[in-house]
Chains A and B, each alone.
Chain A
């Protein structure tokens, strides 16, 4: 329980904002169980909720979520059930996302790979392993969004010649 307090109440929000300049969409103080209560019957919406908890983004793009979800299901037909089970577990135990992987690993949970898959899908835009891996997003992957105020995704021009010499904002 204390862990959630730590997560929800940032020790120094002002400094954090200054330091990281986080976009408003980015939820620095996401409270997982609050979102978990909004779950509907729909698998898709369960996935979206679980994704918000795991990625720390409150307002995830719904269309992107649909595409990623479809790809994850195509990659593993057992994914809908696994995602729902993981969401139920988080909801029930109020697990801190930062502790989640450790808990799953310690328990040798069959769900151990599920958060990794979901976060990789959202943050890297990639679904599947090895030769089955597919790119679903690049520019709109969350790891590009997180730094979009400072960096362009590779292959996109930073700007006119020499624009990169200035101190980043």
Chain B
């Protein structure tokens, strides 16, 4: 609590100083209430705006990050209060429309790469705070990212209207009187600003979130955002509230360590949230209706036992063809130095145990492969190296299978073809959180495609009729 909050106030002070420098005494918004701005910054952090709206190494909120999709890049915009290049001219009403309804100041529709379906739940007060923060707490940056230019027919933004009709619920969060304040606060944060469902809720045919399977797990590019329903086997039902809080705050507990997009969400957002808010989110998550994968016959964190196969490899030379290396040899060479001889982790658990670890207990092994390939990186100082350069697809498959067989759910599988696909779809660097939204962008494009087809079909029919 104290760390996050004191950090917050420190940054607010800096931000205010910056704002004062930038605007001088003539600024009409200088008088904005510091407390309101602070709250706005907190909501911005909880909403993880920075993840998409900041290019690597670029100025905060100045945009420029290209969200690559199969049909082109969607460019994150400059949302600093620059009047020429950012949102400096936005009124509160325009700002609200963009955040909660996906409508730009010029009336054009945003692509739902911007998670406005979640932000729609934001309260009026929080939107006002967010506005105060963006106008006063963010330094204006005078750079303009290139416009998003998708090829026809995907450039017809109006087509989002239909999608919005289906998937955008425009009402702010409505507290449920059947639950206590903690639960309601948690529900608000999880479903609203923190937009957990954007990644963790599976998508329907039109790539809208499946209302019936909230938080049941979804693909995020090459990564898999796991089931975080209250189911004790497939989800987080077997986690204590304390464990969930620790995971969101620190990125790791004994049974699970955040990697990939989740690590980024923690780095940028969750670790800065207050302890009571994290607790509220945990309380809510533990009530999300359970969804179980029948394959999860026991909790995904309960598989495996410490074991080794050293007797088969000590004193034996490696095969000339490295693709013929067996699981114990690969484990010995690439994993055991940290995860130890029997996968048990270090004395105090600082280096995680692979036994009883969610990383090896799920049917979906994409995250396992992604971590072997790209490693695991979290702020401020967690780094597991990746082995994309060192290991072939066959080796990763052999190693992954060995890990699952010994320390995880032996019913799961890792194949060389899967590794090749993920290697091609992944980047050697960490996958940024915005990758999570690519699926959404693709959804939109699919829909536009359908609409376009429909239009052409109608057009053709009309032409045919005229003949």
Q: Please say whether the chains A and B touch (CB closer than 8 A).
A: yes
Q: Contact residues of A with B, CB < 8 Å?
A: 63-64, 67, 125, 134-140, 152-153, 155-161, 163
What A residues does B337 contact at CB under 8 A?
Answer: 155-157
With contact pairs A135-B314, A136-B314 given, residues A157 and B381 touching in the complex (Cβ less than 8 Å): no
Q: What is the CB-to-nearest-CB distance from B191 to chain A, in angstroms, rounded to a whole number?
A: 35
Can you list 15 pairs linking A and B with CB atoms under 8 Å apart? A63-B311, A64-B311, A67-B311, A135-B315, A136-B315, A140-B310, A156-B337, A157-B346, A158-B346, A160-B348, A160-B351, A161-B350, A163-B346, A163-B348, A163-B350
With contact pairs A155-B337, A156-B337, A159-B351 given, residues A139 and B346 touching in the complex (Cβ less than 8 Å): no
B391 within 8 A of partner (CB): no
Interchain CB contact under 8 A, A158 and B347:
yes
* Nearest A residue to B342, CB-CB: A139
What B residues does A136 contact at CB under 8 A?
Answer: 314-315
In Å, the complex CA distance between A155 and B315 comes to 16
Interface 0/1 of B303-344, CB less than 8 Å to A: 000001011001100000000000000000000111011000
What A residues does B346 contact at CB under 8 A?
Answer: 152, 157-160, 163
* Nearest A residue to B341, CB-CB: A139
Q: What is the CB-to-nearest-CB distance from A75 to chain B, in angstroms, rounded to a whole number?
A: 12
Q: What is the CB-to-nearest-CB distance from B334 to chain A, in angstroms, rounded to a whole number?
A: 12
**Chain B: interface residue total (CB-CB under 8 A):** 16
Interchain CB contact under 8 A, B311 and A156:
no
User: Out of B315, B341, B350, which one reaches A160, CB within 8 Å?
Assistant: B350
Interchain CB contact under 8 A, A159 and B347:
yes
What A residues does B315 contact at CB under 8 A?
Answer: 134-136
Inter-chain pairs besides A140-B308, A160-B348, A163-B346, 18 sampled, C-beta below 8 Å: A64-B311, A67-B311, A135-B314, A135-B315, A137-B311, A138-B310, A139-B341, A153-B341, A156-B337, A156-B341, A157-B338, A157-B351, A158-B346, A159-B348, A159-B350, A160-B346, A161-B350, A161-B381
* Nearest B residue to A141, CB-CB: B314
What B residues does A64 contact at CB under 8 A?
Answer: 311
Interface of B is mostly: loop
What B residues does A158 contact at CB under 8 A?
Answer: 346-347
* Nearest B residue to A164, CB-CB: B347
In Å, the complex CA distance between A158 and B346 comes to 6
The residue among B341, B347, B351 with the most chain A CB atoms within 10 A of its own CB is B347
In Å, the complex CA distance between A160 and B250 comes to 15
* Nearest A residue to B336, CB-CB: A156
What A residues does B336 contact at CB under 8 A?
Answer: 156
In Å, the complex CA distance between A153 and B314 comes to 14
The residue among B315, B341, B351, B381 with the most chain A CB atoms within 10 A of its own CB is B315
Which residues of B (273-323) have their CB < 8 Å from a CB of A? 308, 310-311, 314-315
What A residues does B340 contact at CB under 8 A?
Answer: 152, 156-157
User: Out of B314, B347, B350, which one reaches A138, CB within 8 Å?
Assistant: B314
Q: What is the CB-to-nearest-CB distance from A23 to chain B, in angstroms, rounded to a whole number?
A: 15
Which are the 7 A-B pairs with shortest beta-carbon distances? Answer: A160-B350, A159-B346, A159-B350, A139-B341, A135-B315, A157-B338, A134-B315
* Nearest B residue to A67, CB-CB: B311
What A residues does B348 contact at CB under 8 A?
Answer: 159-160, 163
In Å, the complex CA distance between A134 and B316 comes to 9
What B residues does A135 contact at CB under 8 A?
Answer: 314-315
In Å, the complex CA distance between A161 and B348 comes to 11
* Nearest B residue to A152, CB-CB: B340
What B residues does A125 contact at CB under 8 A?
Answer: 314
The residue among A67, A137, A157 with the most chain B CB atoms within 10 A of its own CB is A157
In Å, the complex CA distance between A146 and B93 comes to 71
Q: What is the CB-to-nearest-CB distance from A115 to chain B, in angstroms, rounded to a whole number?
A: 22
With contact pairs A152-B340, A156-B337 given, residues A139 and B308 touching in the complex (Cβ less than 8 Å): yes
What A residues does B351 contact at CB under 8 A?
Answer: 157, 159-160
User: Out of A137, A152, A155, which one reaches B314, CB within 8 Å?
Assistant: A137
* Nearest A residue to B345, CB-CB: A159
What A residues does B308 contact at CB under 8 A?
Answer: 139-140
Q: What is the CB-to-nearest-CB distance from A70 to chain B, in angstroms, rounded to a whole number?
A: 11
Interchain CB contact under 8 A, B381 and A139:
no
In Å, the complex CA distance between A67 and B310 comes to 12
* Nearest B residue to A161, CB-CB: B381
In Å, the complex CA distance between A152 and B342 comes to 12
Q: What is the CB-to-nearest-CB distance from A40 to chain B, in angstroms, rounded to a whole number?
A: 23
